[in-house]
């Protein structure tokens, strides 16, 4: 079975057929490094991580690029505020801490490192080459110290975003990197140097700096040299950014730019657009400072289908923390079992366990192939966890080495998407000494009972735990056991 994706360009679910057999080329628009990324940005990066991991799970060889926009209107404006006559070194000094923070946050969120992270300031020559091609082919023109792209000359302009071109007047120009959907004009390819800034590069026609859209197109060309399979980004980038990328690239090289455009929806906080004035604006650090776990943030951000708006709430994050603890408990219980090949263990039907595990794996991957149906894939994961718990209950924790191996492998297979199991011992980080898996299973059962409002059962388990010398500490990040000091 192939992958199927919703392609923004064709506006339908398309079967995914890579250009080159088993190799997949992906470009994801990365951060503009002028502030700390917020959780809305990370939703988009986690979406491209899910895409990448799903393709890799299916055996594709992925070559993935995420750019770093370190020169654009915003980075220049902020550098100018700090330095009256900024030069390129000032710009680099300004963006460096944000670049470092970006990579640190991506790492905390368990986002797979991609193959290339080109910086715009290090890809200037390919941008100039593209600019020259567009000038030679007369798609570009020089006016008022800058170079513009003439959108009327590119007949497919608007195909991606479906914008209404009827009101477009020839020759009206836009000099900023971002603009509204109702304001469709010729966009800037190279911005003429301003006297107050020394952040500029010489080209055949004028001294200045690249426009944001040209940067992405040139970085793609520089690495892939031709049509790429997949281009991703948030839905807010469809127009003008991606529309302009297509226009420049296809005009310059006369070939298809991207086969599949895949866009990720917005993230809302408490049902509203995230904004500083509403007090619902969160960076990753804000959330970690509240005591939440990065894996819970990761799991929550990946658990909603990319074409649905994700409503982020602290309550939802608390619930996700509980979900993760359930996964950890089951995995740790399995890991801690002393598997043996004793007579009891030999009674297991290994083939049955093996075929069950294979079905789980297939269902998991099939869900991802179906336009990245992550919710369905995660429900298969939870079914596999229930199966494992039940099996261990039935076997009273005496299982064969082979069964342990098959089930552990099943967890690892699904974790190639979730990437949280590496931290499965974190839950007992404060109380490592001697909390064993039997106690953790009891805690898990108590939380399940509370969730299904079976308070009598929850209370009974709490008492059992107390008799064993542990009290339960509930917090936003989940429940922990703490030894009662007698
Ligand atoms: Zn881009």
> For residue 287, how far is its CA from the centre of ligand 1 (angstroms)?
27
Looking at the structure, tell me whether residues 396 and 331 fall in a common domain.
Answer: yes
Looking at the structure, tell me whether residues 119 and 221 fall in a common domain.
Answer: yes
Pairwise CA distance, residues 8 & 160, whole Å: 7
| Strand partners of residue 173 | 186
Range in 122-131, 327-336, 399-408, 420-429 with the lowest mean pLDDT: 420-429
Look at residue 3 and tell me if it is in a domain: no
> For residue 234, how far is its CA from the centre of ligand 1 (angstroms)?
10
> For residue 12, how far is its CA from the centre of ligand 1 (angstroms)?
22
Whether pLDDT at 483 is above 80 = no
Looking at the structure, tell me whether residues 46 and 117 fall in a common domain.
Answer: yes
Look at residue 407 and tell me if it is in a domain: yes
- Report the percent of the chain where pLDDT is more than 90: 71
Looking at the structure, tell me whether residues 128 and 221 fall in a common domain.
Answer: yes
Looking at the structure, tell me whether residues 432 and 413 fall in a common domain.
Answer: no
> For residue 384, how far is its CA from the centre of ligand 1 (angstroms)?
39
> For residue 370, how far is its CA from the centre of ligand 1 (angstroms)?
26
Q: State mean pLDDT over 320-345.
A: 87
> For residue 242, how far is its CA from the centre of ligand 1 (angstroms)?
7
> For residue 13, how far is its CA from the centre of ligand 1 (angstroms)?
23
> For residue 250, how far is its CA from the centre of ligand 1 (angstroms)?
15
Look at residue 138 and tell me if it is in a domain: no
Domain boundary among 417, 442, 468: 417
> For residue 30, how far is its CA from the centre of ligand 1 (angstroms)?
7
Report pLDDT for 429: 41
Looking at the structure, tell me whether residues 404 and 430 fall in a common domain.
Answer: no
> For residue 431, how far is its CA from the centre of ligand 1 (angstroms)?
46
> For residue 326, how far is its CA from the centre of ligand 1 (angstroms)?
38
Whether pLDDT at 81 is above 80 = yes
Look at residue 11 and tell me if it is in a domain: no
Look at residue 43 and tell me if it is in a domain: yes
Q: What is the mean pLDDT of the chain?
A: 91
> For residue 241, how far is its CA from the centre of ligand 1 (angstroms)?
7
Q: What is the CATH number of the domain that holds 392?
A: 1.20.120
Q: Which domain holds residue 342?
A: 316-417
Report pLDDT for 378: 98
Q: What is the pTM of this model?
A: 0.87
Looking at the structure, tell me whether residues 124 and 34 fall in a common domain.
Answer: yes
Report pLDDT for 338: 82
To 10 degrees, the CA torsion angle through 337, 340, 344, 350?
A: 90
Q: What is the CATH number of the domain that holds 64?
A: 3.40.50.620
> For residue 23, how far is its CA from the centre of ligand 1 (angstroms)?
22
Looking at the structure, tell me whether residues 123 and 224 fall in a common domain.
Answer: yes
Look at residue 35 and tell me if it is in a domain: yes
Domain boundary among 263, 284, 305: 284
Look at residue 4 and tell me if it is in a domain: no
**What confidence category does residue 427 fall into, taking pLDDT thresholds of 50, 70 and 90?**
low
Looking at the structure, tell me whether residues 267 and 393 fall in a common domain.
Answer: no
Domain boundary among 398, 417, 436: 417
> For residue 239, how far is its CA from the centre of ligand 1 (angstroms)?
11
> For residue 473, how far is its CA from the centre of ligand 1 (angstroms)?
45
Looking at the structure, tell me whether residues 249 and 349 fall in a common domain.
Answer: no
> For residue 217, how far is its CA from the centre of ligand 1 (angstroms)?
8
> For residue 372, how far is its CA from the centre of ligand 1 (angstroms)?
22
Whether pLDDT at 486 is above 60 = no
Looking at the structure, tell me whether residues 366 and 462 fall in a common domain.
Answer: no
> For residue 32, how far is its CA from the centre of ligand 1 (angstroms)?
9
Whether pLDDT at 171 is above 80 = no
> For residue 167, how far is its CA from the centre of ligand 1 (angstroms)?
26
Look at residue 309 and tell me if it is in a domain: no
Looking at the structure, tell me whether residues 397 and 486 fall in a common domain.
Answer: no
**What confidence category does residue 345 fall into, taking pLDDT thresholds of 50, 70 and 90?**
low
> For residue 236, how far is its CA from the centre of ligand 1 (angstroms)?
11
Indicate the number of domains in the chain.
3
> For residue 327, how far is its CA from the centre of ligand 1 (angstroms)?
36
Report pLDDT for 342: 73
> For residue 59, how far is its CA from the centre of ligand 1 (angstroms)?
27
Tokens of 100: 């470092």
Q: Which residues contact 415 (CB under 8 A, 6 or more apart)?
A: 421
């Amino acid at each position: 079975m192939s992958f199927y994706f919703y392609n923004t360009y064709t506006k339908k679910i398309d079967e995914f057929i890579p250009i080159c057999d088993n190799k997949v080329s992906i470009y994801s628009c990365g951060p503009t490094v002028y502030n700390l990324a917020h959780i809305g940005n990370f939703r988009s990066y986690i979406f491209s991580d899910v895409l990448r991991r799903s393709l890799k799970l299916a055996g594709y060889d992925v070559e993935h690029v995420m750019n770093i926009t370190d020169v654009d209107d915003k980075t220049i404006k902020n550098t100018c505020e700090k330095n009256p006559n900024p030069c390129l070194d000032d710009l680099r000094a300004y963006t460096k801490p944000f670049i470092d923070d970006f990579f640190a946050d991506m790492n905390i969120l368990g986002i797979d490192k991609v193959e290339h992270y080109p910086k715009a300031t290090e890809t200037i020559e390919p941008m100039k080459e593209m600019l020259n091609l567009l000038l030679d082919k007369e798609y570009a023109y020089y006016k008022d110290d800058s170079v513009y792209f003439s959108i009327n000359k590119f007949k497919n302009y608007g195909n991606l975003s479906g914008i209404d071109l009827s009101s477009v007047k020839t020759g009206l120009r836009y000099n900023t990197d971002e603009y509204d959907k109702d304001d469709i004009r010729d966009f800037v390819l190279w911005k003429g140097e301003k006297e107050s800034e020394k952040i500029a590069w010489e080209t055949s026609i004028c001294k200045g700096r690249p426009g944001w859209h040209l940067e992405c197109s040139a970085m793609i060309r520089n690495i892939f040299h031709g049509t790429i399979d997949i281009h991703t980004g948030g839905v807010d980038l469809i127009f003008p950014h991606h529309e302009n990328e297509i226009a420049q690239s296809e005009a310059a090289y006369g070939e298809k730019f991207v086969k599949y455009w895949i866009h990720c929806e917005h993230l809302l906080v408490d049902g509203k657009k995230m904004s500083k004035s509403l007090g619902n604006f969160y960076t990753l650090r804000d959330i970690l400072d509240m005591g939440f776990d990065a894996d819970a943030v990761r799991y929550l951000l990946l658990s909603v289908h990319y074409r649905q708006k994700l409503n982020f709430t602290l309550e939802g994050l608390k619930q996700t923390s509980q979900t993760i603890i359930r996964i950890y408990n089951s995995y740790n219980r399995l890991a801690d079992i002393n598997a043996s090949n004793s007579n009891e263990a030999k009674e297991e039907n290994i083939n049955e366990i093996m075929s069950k595990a294979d079905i789980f794996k297939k269902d998991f991957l099939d869900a991802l192939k179906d336009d990245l149906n992550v919710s369905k894939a995660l429900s298969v994961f939870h079914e596999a966890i229930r199966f494992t718990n039940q099996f261990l209950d039935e076997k009273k924790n005496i299982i064969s080495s082979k069964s342990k191996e098959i089930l552990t492998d099943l967890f690892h297979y699904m974790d190639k998407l979730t990437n949280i199991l590496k931290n499965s011992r974190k839950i007992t980080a404060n109380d490592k000494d001697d909390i064993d898996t039997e106690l953790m299973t009891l805690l898990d059962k108590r939380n399940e009972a509370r969730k299904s409002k079976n308070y009598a059962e929850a209370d009974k388990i709490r008492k059992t735990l107390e008799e064993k010398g542990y009290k339960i500490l509930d917090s936003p990040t989940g429940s922990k056991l703490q030894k009662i000091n007698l």
